């Protein structure tokens, strides 16, 4: 559900403004209305934001270091030393990496010539001879160069000849070949230089690791404190100067449950204020308030968007259906048990911030265990074919069912049935929501479609179950269709003429007819994904059993080792893939099929109180 909000308007004397803001932050219940421009044009804020960006760059760099444990946060006054040290080490490392690249390029250039001493070349020059280096395609090399210029092939690489000529000083060498440009150091010297530079980089890397171990949490704490201060400065700028700049006007929102606490502080401060309940068009921020079960699923609602002032909180309906969809897609009771154990294990290992997420994993594991048992799969084993008591098998939903003269898989029919219920519930929510927020006159079209679709589903189900005789059902269907058509085609907008309403109704009919069937068929994915995961698990079981069947002695030992590896690795892989599918596809069924038919847009703003950081 959505917490009721109260609009707060404040007038504060300009000299007391900053002290008042600090007291307001200490209370920590007011959502401040930001300036409409959205931009903060203040040199000090811009300076602090630039420093924040510098902090974040350093934090991200240190987080990449190979460090398993980090020291507790120290004095945040030392944060700038950590930043400057990190920037210095990174800059020096990058410079040395540039040197390595240059040396590697020189090594690649001189390597075909081998490791020779440049001093020998200098001795030849002193004796009156000149040594020149050439590179030529093998097919272009001419044998006469050997006699004319004392050419000597040093190496052949990639169909190219690397050769030198030895001639008396001053002799012109007329050769159609590329003149090689060699570095001024030998191969061994270059390789030694590369090794030296790489050792320096390794030393710098260790220094970075030590810096990350000792300073990362300090830097994080400093960044948090800085952003806390920036938030205060932004709120201070959100105030509007009035009455000759003597008073500052500030607006915000406070949940109804915190009004008494806020009033006590405001009365004590002596500031002028006005508190009133939020109107529908106020665009108040949204604070969700749900029970422990539903609260775990608020993260899914926030992923799509918070409800606006004309929406219900969808989380109470998202919670059970997402859990059901997830369990259906997993479709294996054994995998559900693994999720439960994994959730409890990680809950002990992780911090308090992740406890809610692990509770969600445990809950989804419980749903998966129950639904997986009903679908008859346990670690890829088909329970319906196993030797378990028949009274337990009676609860398993497996096999086929005959409907309207044809045979269908029970689980597929169940998936489609869940889809029909889900979309019917969405249309019900849309009709009720429209009536509550816009009045019954604006809701006749929504109720018309509800009668046609949901009423038709209910009537068809009762007729199929022989609760209502076919003759009565026929007349009931005519009545439902007539009333629904009246709302859809004639009364969908009382401010338009009837012909415009008929045209709009026909267009809605086209959209409904083309979209509704596709929406329902989308729920087949629940059956398909569960079936795929079960078949893959069964395949791993069959492969593992093939390694131990008919084996004796050492072969049996090896077979059982292979059996364990396939079972563990295979099912681990299947669980990982199934979890991914079981999260993404139920999310799609919620965000697309349900939200579309429920008319939910998610354009609200989340309630974020101005408060001190813990």
pLDDT at 368 > cutoff 90 = yes
More confident residue, 9 or 573: 573
Same domain, 427 and 537: yes
Residue 24 in domain: yes
What are the beta bridge partners of residue 391? Answer: none
pLDDT for the residue 445: 78
Element (H, E) at 510: helix 498-521
* Banded pLDDT at 36 (limits 50, 70, 90): low
Same domain, 337 and 247: no
pLDDT at 352 > cutoff 90 = no
Rounded mean pLDDT of the chain?
83
* Banded pLDDT at 37 (limits 50, 70, 90): very low
How many domains does the chain contain in total?
3
Quick one: what percent of the chain has pLDDT higher than 90?
Answer: 16
- Cα–Cα separations (whole angstroms), residue 344 to 349, 369, 572: 9, 15, 18
What's the pLDDT tens digit per position in 465-497?
Answer: 778 787 787 777 788 777 877 777 777 776 677
What's the pLDDT tens digit per position in 123-178?
Answer: 888 888 989 999 999 999 998 999 888 999 999 888 899 999 999 988 888 888 99
Sign, CA dihedral 562-564-567-568, equals negative
What letter would DSSP give residue 288? B
Contact 246, 16 (CB under 8 A): no
What's the pLDDT tens digit per position in 394-415?
Answer: 888 888 887 777 788 888 888 9
What's the pLDDT tens digit per position in 288-312?
Answer: 888 888 988 988 988 888 888 778 8
How far is residue 328's CA from residue 367's CA, in Å, rounded to a whole number?
Answer: 9
Question: What is the span of the domain harbouring residue 145?
Answer: 116-185
Tell me which residue of 597, 598, 593 sits closest to 416, measured CA to CA: 593
pLDDT for the residue 376: 86
* Banded pLDDT at 245 (limits 50, 70, 90): low
Residue 92 in domain: no
pLDDT at 191 > cutoff 60 = yes
* Banded pLDDT at 614 (limits 50, 70, 90): low
The phi, psi pair for 607, rounded to 5°, reads -70, 120
- Copy the structure tokens of residue 365: 């594991």
How far is residue 215's CA from residue 71's CA, in Å, rounded to a whole number?
Answer: 7
Contact 288, 2 (CB under 8 A): yes
- Copy the structure tokens of residue 40: 């903060």
pLDDT at 446 > cutoff 90 = no
Residue 102 in domain: no
Same domain, 371 and 269: no
The residue-averaged pLDDT of 513-519 equals 78
Same domain, 401 and 527: yes
SS3 per residue for 273-306: EEEEECCHHHCCCECECCCHHHHCCHHHHHHHCE
Cα Rg for the chain, rounded, in angstroms? 38
How far is residue 260's CA from residue 258's CA, in Å, rounded to a whole number?
Answer: 6
pLDDT for the residue 407: 82
Q: What are the DSSP calls for 540-591, one per residue?
A: HHHHHHHTTTT--HHHHHHHHHHHHHHHHHHHHHHHHHHHHHHHHHHHHIII
Same domain, 307 and 252: no
Please name the residue that has the structure tokens 């390029």. 105
pLDDT for the residue 162: 93
pLDDT for the residue 408: 81
Give 272's Cβ-side CA count (13 Å radius): 7
The residue-averaged pLDDT of 87-91 equals 90
For the chain, the first-to-last Cα distance in angstroms comes to: 26
Residue 193 in domain: no
Same domain, 56 and 176: no
Same domain, 19 and 57: yes
- Copy the structure tokens of residue 319: 């919670």
Same domain, 382 and 471: yes
pLDDT for the residue 278: 80
pLDDT for the residue 40: 46
Task: Please identify, among 234, 262, 282, the residue that sits at the C-terminal boundary of a domain.
Answer: 282
pLDDT for the residue 101: 93
Tell me which residue of 525, 607, 598 sits closest to 318, measured CA to CA: 598
How far is residue 372's CA from residue 331's CA, in Å, rounded to a whole number?
Answer: 5
pLDDT for the residue 171: 85
Element (H, E) at 43: helix 43-63
* C-beta neighbour count of 526 within 10 angstroms: 27
Tell me which residue of 33, 39, 10 sits closest to 605, measured CA to CA: 33
Grouping H, G, I as helix, E, B as strand and the rest as coil, residue 515 is helix
pLDDT at 47 > cutoff 80 = no
* Banded pLDDT at 44 (limits 50, 70, 90): low
How far is residue 384's CA from residue 381's CA, in Å, rounded to a whole number?
Answer: 9
What are the beta bridge partners of residue 164? Answer: 133, 152
Contact 309, 332 (CB under 8 A): no
What's the pLDDT tens digit per position in 562-613?
Answer: 888 988 998 899 999 999 999 999 999 999 888 888 888 888 888 888 787 7
Same domain, 467 and 577: yes
The phi, psi pair for 283, rounded to 5°, reads 55, 50
Tell me which residue of 108, 147, 154, 105 sits closest to 132, measured CA to CA: 154
Contact 307, 2 (CB under 8 A): yes
* Banded pLDDT at 385 (limits 50, 70, 90): confident
Residue 199 in domain: no
More confident residue, 468 or 201: 201
Same domain, 420 and 493: yes
Residue 101 in domain: no
pLDDT for the residue 240: 59
Task: Please identify, among 282, 308, 338, the residue that sits at the C-terminal boundary of a domain.
Answer: 282
The residue-averaged pLDDT of 51-59 equals 83
Q: What are the DSSP calls for 184-197, one per residue?
A: SS-HHHHHHHHHHH
Residue 91 in domain: no
Please name the residue that has the structure tokens 């019900």. 428
* Banded pLDDT at 35 (limits 50, 70, 90): low
How far is residue 89's CA from residue 211's CA, in Å, rounded to a whole number?
Answer: 10
Angle between helical axes of 524-546 and 315-330 (0-180°, round to 10): 30
Grouping H, G, I as helix, E, B as strand and the rest as coil, residue 241 is strand
Residue 609 in domain: no
* Banded pLDDT at 38 (limits 50, 70, 90): very low
Task: Please identify, among 154, 185, 216, the residue that sits at the C-terminal boundary of a domain.
Answer: 185
Same domain, 552 and 580: yes
Same domain, 316 and 181: no
């Amino acid at each position: 559900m959505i917490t009721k909000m109260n609009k707060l308007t404040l007038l504060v004397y300009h000299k007391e403004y900053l002290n008042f803001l600090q007291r307001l932050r200490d209370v920590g219940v007011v959502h401040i209305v930001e300036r409409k421009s959205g931009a903060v044009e203040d040199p000090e804020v811009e300076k602090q934001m630039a420093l924040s960006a510098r902090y974040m760059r350093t934090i991200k760099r240190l987080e990449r270091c190979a460090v398993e444990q980090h020291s507790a946060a120290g004095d945040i006054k030392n944060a700038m030393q950590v930043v400057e040290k990190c920037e210095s080490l990174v800059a020096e490392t990058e410079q040395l990496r540039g040197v390595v690249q240059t040396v590697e390029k020189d090594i690649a250039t001189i390597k075909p010539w081998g490791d020779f001493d440049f001093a020998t070349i200098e001795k030849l020059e002193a004796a009156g001879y000149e040594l020149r280096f050439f590179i030529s395609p093998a097919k272009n090399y001419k044998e006469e160069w050997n006699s004319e210029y004392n050419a000597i092939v040093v190496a052949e690489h990639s169909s190219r000849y690397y050769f030198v000529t030895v001639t008396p000083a001053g002799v012109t060498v007329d050769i159609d070949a590329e003149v090689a440009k060699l570095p001024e150091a030998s191969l061994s010297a270059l390789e030694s230089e590369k090794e030296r530079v790489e050792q320096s980089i390794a030393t710098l890397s260790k220094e970075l690791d030590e810096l990350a171990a000792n300073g990362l949490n300090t830097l994080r704490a400093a960044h948090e404190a800085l952003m806390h201060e920036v938030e205060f400065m932004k709120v201070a700028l959100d105030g509007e100067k009035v009455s000759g700049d003597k008073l500052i006007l500030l607006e915000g929102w406070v949940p109804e449950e915190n009004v008494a606490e806020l009033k006590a502080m405001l009365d004590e401060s002596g500031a002028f204020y006005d508190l009133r309940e939020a109107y529908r068009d106020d665009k108040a921020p949204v604070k969700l308030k749900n029970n422990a079960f539903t609260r775990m699923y608020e993260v899914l609602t926030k992923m799509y968007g918070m409800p606006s002032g004309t929406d219900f909180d969808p989380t109470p309906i998202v919670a059970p259906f997402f859990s059901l969809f997830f369990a259906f897609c997993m479709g294996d009771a054994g995998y559900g048990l693994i999720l439960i154990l994994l959730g409890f294990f990680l809950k002990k290992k992780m911090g308090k911030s992740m406890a809610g997420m692990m509770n969600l994993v445990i809950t989804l594991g419980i749903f998966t265990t129950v639904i997986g048992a009903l679908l008859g799969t346990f670690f890829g084993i088909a329970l319906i074919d196993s030797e378990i008591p028949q009274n337990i098998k009676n609860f398993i939903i497996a096999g086929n069912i005959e409907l309207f003269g044809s045979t269908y898989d029970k689980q597929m029919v169940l998936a489609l049935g869940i889809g029909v219920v889900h979309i019917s519930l969405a249309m019900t929510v849309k009709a009720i929501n429209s009536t509550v927020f816009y009045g019954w006159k604006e809701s006749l079209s929504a109720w018309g479609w509800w009668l046609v679709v949901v009423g038709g589903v209910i009537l068809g189900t009762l007729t199929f179950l022989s609760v209502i005789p076919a003759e009565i059902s026929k007349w009931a269907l005519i009545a439902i269709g007539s009333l629904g058509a009246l709302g859809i085609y004639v009364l969908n907008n009382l401010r338009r003429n009837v012909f415009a309403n008929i045209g709009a109704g026909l267009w809605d009919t086209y959209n409904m007819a083309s979209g509704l069937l596709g929406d329902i068929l989308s729920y087949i994915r629940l059956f398909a994904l569960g079936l795929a995961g079960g078949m893959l698990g069964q395949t791993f079981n069959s492969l593992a059993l093939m390694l131990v069947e008919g084996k004796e002695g050492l072969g049996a030992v090896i077979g059982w080792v292979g059996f364990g590896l396939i079972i563990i690795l295979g099912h681990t892989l299947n669980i990982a893939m199934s979890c991914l599918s079981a999260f993404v596809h139920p999310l799609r069924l919620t965000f697309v099929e349900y939200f579309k038919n429920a008319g939910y847009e998610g354009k609200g703003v989340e309630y974020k109180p101005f408060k001190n950081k813990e």
